[in-house]
Structure 1
Amino acid sequence: MPAGLVISAPASGVGKTTLTLALARAWRNRGLNVQCFKSGPDYIDPAFHAAATGRASVNVDSWAMDRAAIAHLVSRGIDADVVLAEGSMGLFDGVAARGVSGTGATADIAQMLGWPVLLVIDPSGQAQTAAAIAAGLRDYRAGVRLAGVVLNRVASPRHEDLVRRALLDAGIAVFGALPRHAEINLPKRHLGLVQAEEQAEIGKLIDEAARFVAEHVDLDAVLRSAAAWSPQPAANGLNVTPPGQRIALARDAAFSFVYPHMLEAWRAAGAEISTFSPLADEAPDTSADVCWLPGGYPELHAGKIAGNARFRSGLRAFAKTRPLHGECGGYMVLGAGLTDADGVRHEMTGLLGLETSFAKRRMHLGYRLAELAAPMPGHRAGSRLRGHEFHYSTIVAQPDTPLAVVHDATGAVIAETGSRRGYVTGTFFHLIAEDR
């Protein structure tokens, strides 16, 4: 029977991902099968989870997904010994307005699955106050259980002793304390961690994290704190329609942000996916009936994309007769031009009139609910799509017919409507699920 545990924290940046990877690899090194999930819309962490466990990880999201979809996704852990759900931001951080089954907070997933929470606490600049924070999180919401705490980045043995004593006085278990260790810090970029596939040494980095955590954390006590869990095999509850039977998917360092559960759902529905690399100047498979450009980091490769004539001409030829959709970075590449952080404009494919610029960075972040005014691949006009937007580009021009009316999580209408022209559509949000 699998044991389930949620890894969370009071805030972002305290070491949730590093601890999740380290625990997963340490238990795997002991011969246990470990399944990871990511709570929330982060599309980078699941690839790190897969590197640590050897098993695919997916996102579970209470704002965008209903309980049936979440049950379907977590049922993949039925054959695991340990199941870890890594949270996002702080334990109770979500949006103000409830979505499909919650606000997107990690606490929603912990309560829904009945898994206790392992808190990562960084007590830098404090001592006993760390215990007050942990106690507040423990008592904040009925139905969310605290397993205990791992301290991260403790300054000294004396510092650790002060914090430990305060936590124990509050009745909170301390499973271990990690001194500062720069060698296991994961590199970051403006959208979060640098992707796992970009790091040649990722295996060694995770191994070092596992060794370090095993040295300072009682792995057996952590495992005993996890909840016995009896998942039932679930029917496909994702309600995802593939955009076509044969899908040409852009896939390389510039086009890599696509939710794993979406690709799995497409394949489960019988679709075939062929990949191509725009950075290698490849064109989409001409036998495909739809082309999909996911997001990523096109701004880091804009000059190369602009100069890859075979990719550009192949994409234009494809769009004359078949549907083509781009998400976020893919949407920008379908546009007329992209200005990079240095103020240099690069000509894109021109299939849409969108002009974007990174010269004046502006963060766009949050859940999105789109009501389609026209069809896009896999979805009819009138469909309600839930997704997430995260980028730093500014819209200079968005002259084409809007694809959708797009709302943020509060219900406010936003300017990032997406575009359509002929067979071509694009959105700034990454699709997570369609409302039933």
Structure 2
Amino acid sequence: MQAGEHSDLGDRIDAMAELVTAQCDLDAILTMAAPAPRAPMPPSSLRPPGQRIAVARDDAFAFFYPHLARWWRDAGAESTFFSPLADEAPADHCDSCWLPGGYPELHAGRLAGNGRFLAGLRHFAETRPVHGECGGYMVLGRSLEDADGVLHPMAGLLPVDASFARRKLSLGYRRAILRRDTSFADAGRTMFGHEYHHATIVGEGGGEAFADIADAAGAPLGAAGHRRGLVSGSFFHLIA
């Protein structure tokens, strides 16, 4: 559950503010903090995946990092948002599509029934790159099993079947080295990010691995993700 999903978020923040005000010496804290300069965010060496990027954004695709959008914008790219839950397809004037992580396992039935979204995504992927992170990766696969064991067909663009019924927590920072060029980085490029998911891949076949990954200590974790044609995806969330 993310902060924005709390209907009483404002009340919670007000309550915390009152507690901090009563228990902390705010003047002393501000005095100590004042000399600390605000560090500028360094530019990214990763290129935008396209000039015009269609980004899925709704309750099923909620894990999109603002700094990625800023890097893309600073590099001259523009993002156009669409909602798969509202049965919207990536805009045809875009030249790449990005499916962030989120909670597709909680909305699998609705996504499976949104024919315009799935048909539009498949059509888009015929000529333009599509990348999925975590939840987006599962939606790009063949099927997604929800917590009740119900199987839902997904886009079928990557040869994977995911399950939320058979859970295993994967959590930690990751280093990923791309096996082949992508729309946003070249083969051999080291990228840093993380994994945080309970879903597992229960079936796969065909396609190629997306990257080789290691944990925060540098221990190899093997191949990660898949790619087929212009489509790629993995459980790896890109940070830098």
1:155-304 superposed matches below 5 A: 194-226=1-33, 228-231=35-38, 234=40, 236-304=42-110
2:144·2:163 contact (CA, 8 Å) conserved in 1? yes
1:332-351 superposed matches below 5 A: 332-351=138-157
What's the Cα RMSD here?
1.7
Q: 1:362 aligns with which of 155, 168, 177?
A: 168
Distance (Å, rounded) in 1 between the aligned partners of 2:195 and 2:41: 29
Q: How far did residue 401 of structure 1 move? A: 1.1
CA displacement, residues 90-144 of structure 1 (integer Å, 9 cap, x when unaligned): xxxxxxxxxxxxxxxxxxxxxxxxxxxxxxxxxxxxxxxxxxxxxxxxxxxxxxx
> In the alignment, which residue of structure 2 is the partner of 1:321?
127
Distance (Å, rounded) in 2 between the aligned partners of 1:392 and 1:195: 16
> In the alignment, which residue of structure 1 is the partner of 2:117?
311
1:416·1:428 contact (CA, 8 Å) conserved in 2? no
CA displacement, residues 271-303 of structure 1 (integer Å, 9 cap, x when unaligned): 010000001110000000000000011111111
1:198·1:253 contact (CA, 8 Å) conserved in 2? no
Which letter maps to 1:395? I
Distance (Å, rounded) in 2 between the aligned partners of 1:351 and 1:387: 24
2:46·2:185 contact (CA, 8 Å) conserved in 1? no
> In the alignment, which residue of structure 1 is the partner of 2:217?
410
Secondary structure of 1:369's counterpart equals: strand
Task: Note if 1:393 corresponds to 2:199.
Answer: yes
CA displacement, residues 51-70 of structure 1 (integer Å, 9 cap, x when unaligned): xxxxxxxxxxxxxxxxxxxx
Relative to structure 1, the CA distance from residue 211 to residue 361 in structure 2 (aligned partners, 3 Å threshold; closer, same or farther) is same
Distance (Å, rounded) in 2 between the aligned partners of 1:214 and 1:337: 50
Secondary structure of 1:406's counterpart equals: strand
2:210·2:223 contact (CA, 8 Å) conserved in 1? no
The TM-score with structure 1 as length reference comes to 0.53
Structure 2 residue runs of 5 or longer lacking an equivalent are none
Secondary structure of 1:255's counterpart equals: coil
Secondary structure of 1:401's counterpart equals: coil
Distance (Å, rounded) in 1 between the aligned partners of 2:199 and 2:78: 32
> In the alignment, which residue of structure 2 is the partner of 1:170?
none
Secondary structure of 2:227's counterpart equals: strand
CA displacement, residues 156-188 of structure 1 (integer Å, 9 cap, x when unaligned): xxxxxxxxxxxxxxxxxxxxxxxxxxxxxxxxx
Secondary structure of 1:395's counterpart equals: strand
2:101·2:135 contact (CA, 8 Å) conserved in 1? yes
Distance (Å, rounded) in 1 between the aligned partners of 2:222 and 2:141: 16
Task: Note if 1:374 corresponds to 2:180.
Answer: yes
Distance (Å, rounded) in 2 between the aligned partners of 1:341 and 1:286: 34
> In the alignment, which residue of structure 2 is the partner of 1:154?
none
The TM-score with structure 2 as length reference comes to 0.93
> In the alignment, which residue of structure 1 is the partner of 2:158?
352
Distance (Å, rounded) in 2 between the aligned partners of 1:270 and 1:201: 37
Which letter maps to 1:381? A
Q: How far did residue 220 of structure 1 move? A: 1.9
Relative to structure 1, the CA distance from residue 354 to residue 366 in structure 2 (aligned partners, 3 Å threshold; closer, same or farther) is same
Instruction: Decide which structure has the larger Cα Rg and report it.
Output: 1
1:83-102 superposed matches below 5 A: none
Distance (Å, rounded) in 2 between the aligned partners of 1:207 and 1:397: 47
Secondary structure of 1:248's counterpart equals: strand
Secondary structure of 1:252's counterpart equals: coil
